Amino acid sequence: MEFTVSKILWTLLGLFIVLNWGLIMGGTMRKIVARVGKRYGIPIYQPYIDLVKNYSVRSQITHGVMFYLGPVFRLSGGVGIFLFLPLIFGSDHWSNFSFSGDLILILYFQFFGMLGMALGAGEGGHPYSAIGVSRGLSQFTTIEVPMTLAVISLAVQYNTLSISEIVAAQQGGLANWTMVTNPFATVAAMLSLLGAFGHSPFDLVKAPNEIPIGPPTEYHATYLGVLRTNAAILHVVEAALFMNLFFGGATNWFELILKTFLIYFWSVFVGVVFPRFRIEQSVQWFLKIPLILGIIAIIVVL
């Protein structure tokens, strides 16, 4: 891991590309959902307009220091995952700042943003924020269990905690992908991914028509713009993380865009088919089949 000026510039360029792909992918998915509902839907570039609009809205409200810091922590979580995630296998420019123990750090960063947002939204003082935060934290805690079991299974299988080395071990064709060599871990992780992306049936945190908007109820203007920026980055990097762990990584940008699109589409596809769970159903669901599959994945590898 080197901290040269050119390395930092390449990483910033990568962040810019990921942000743009995240916005376009988000718009495309909303268009797909609209077509499923037989609507024409938004233009694909609508997330850009929303972002510009949100950044231009004025703000005259404060609820305290943590209210300011909530979106900042959330963005740090998304950008933090990006910084330590190798995007393109075999490329010096696009491997970012990945190192030998990056897998553990990325798992931590997934929770970091959510905890920061919980503190910020809690200071907003709106009851829906508190309900959304309690739901989000309890759901994500149960998501972490099968996801961590799957990751530990991979660490044992490949004998490493470096994402780059896990990707390197999967090169050489479809038969070497973790999807084929360790299907139990893949299924457990892909099921927990549904919860991580927060689409229906696990959209309990924002829960439209129930606790509208959820934690960001009080967030507006630039705060909301930062949250939306983070959402665009986070969707791509989380999909890229799963691509690296289970689907052979990517050797070029086209492969990355295709695979991240399909991985994100998986959660959208499930979302348009199934209606929302209640929180106790969601928690119980993650602690049944995904958890059992995660344990089997560990046993099989040992």
Angle among Cα 181, 265, 165 to the nearest 5 degrees reads: 35
Cβ distance to another protein smaller for residue 43 or 64: 43
Burial 88-116 (b: 16+ CB within 10 A, else e): bbebeebbbbbeeebbebbbebbebbbbb
Cβ distance to another protein smaller for residue 168 or 213: 213
In the complex, minimum distance from the CB of residue 264 to another protein, in angstroms, rounded to a whole number: 20
Beta carbons within 10 angstroms of residue 288's beta carbon: 11
In the complex, minimum distance from the CB of residue 228 to another protein, in angstroms, rounded to a whole number: 11
Residue 90 DSSP label? T
Q: Choose among 4, 44, 39, 80: nearest CA to 237.
A: 80
How many CA atoms are closer than 13 Å to the CA of 115, on its beta-carbon side?
A: 6
Which residue, chain included where needed, has tokens 């609508």? 46
Cβ distance to another protein smaller for residue 128 or 246: 128
Cβ distance to another protein smaller for residue 55 or 97: 55
In the complex, minimum distance from the CB of residue 76 to another protein, in angstroms, rounded to a whole number: 23
Q: In the complex, which residues of this chain contact another protein (CB under 8 A)? A: 34, 37-43, 46, 49-50, 52-53, 56-61, 208, 212-213, 216-221, 224
In the complex, minimum distance from the CB of residue 224 to another protein, in angstroms, rounded to a whole number: 6
Cβ distance to another protein smaller for residue 27 or 146: 27
In the complex, minimum distance from the CB of residue 270 to another protein, in angstroms, rounded to a whole number: 22
